[in-house]
Amino acid sequence: MSDSPTTPFRVAALQMVSTPDRERNLAEAGRLIAEAAAAGARLVLLPEYFCFMGYKDSDKLAVREPYGDGPIQRFLAEAALKNKVWIIGGTLPLRVPDPLPEENRVLNTTLVFDTRGEEVARYDKIHLFNFEKGAESFDEARTIRPGGEVRTFEAPFGRVGLSVCYDLRFPELYRRMGDCALMVVPSAFTYTTGRAHWQTLLRARAVENQCYVLAAAQGGQHENGRRTWGHSMLIDPWGEVMDVLDEGPGVVAGDIDLARIAAVRASLPAWRHRMLDCN
């Protein structure tokens, strides 16, 4: 990350309540991207599963795409070009290359497109959610193959670290991203786990890495019966919540200011005081 302050760079996170209808979700995402761009955003983050929330976990297999082609990938590229924004495309289901015998899973993948509509980064979700409490039961490993590589990319204001939802609980992942100006967390946190831990974990990642954290969430009651926590937000390097949306579709936004990062790190130089190697 550059140490020289630059003009603040406006970023936005979209909050959605996605449905089992892919085309309806893409239309809603397109509307919110345009809204964010019209308000000055130059980078837009979509939530996990922005394109599809099926009635059961295996429904995502019906809309999986080969890497490099498909209606969801074309939508993201075209939306970036049309609105002249960087788009971090939440997640979409990609086909698993060289599947094992009888393997019926997808990769839960984030793709990043620049203002020309060209892909510049890819991240396959590493940590797979597993939760059992009462009537709630989730095991992503049944339908998702985990990724294995930490990924970042260079935006106009500096390095951006990529993560997805359950990754948020594993701080070593964020340390391995290195010196980031921004870390992003597209998510579909359940209402139960989100109410308990969401904001605490997001603020911790911002404070310990002394950078901005932008989180785009699913937020509300879905047609499949699932309820997600929402509370999409932008957090600054001191851990202050700059903007937040509790529930329902909408946009949260704010500026990435390198001078703010530099000031926080100068007054409390925890980043410089790191002693252990997380590689």
**Helix or strand holding residue 43 (H, E):** strand 43-45
Q: Which of 35, 51, 60, 125 is catalytic?
A: 125
Give the type of residue at 110: T
Give the separation between CA 100 and CA 147, rounded to whole angstroms: 15
DSSP letter for 16, please: B
Residue 237 near residue 261 (C-beta atoms within 8 A): yes
Give the separation between CA 27 and CA 69, rounded to whole angstroms: 19
3-state DSSP helix/strand/coil % of the chain, to nearest 5: 30, 30, 40
Give the separation between CA 276 and CA 24, rounded to whole angstroms: 47
Q: Which of 51, 165, 180, 211 is catalytic?
A: 165
Q: Which of 48, 65, 140, 247 is catalytic?
A: 48
Give the separation between CA 119 and CA 79, rounded to whole angstroms: 12
Give the separation between CA 72 and CA 23, rounded to whole angstroms: 9
* Catalytic residue check, 125: yes
Which active-site residues does the annotation give?
Answer: 48, 125, 165
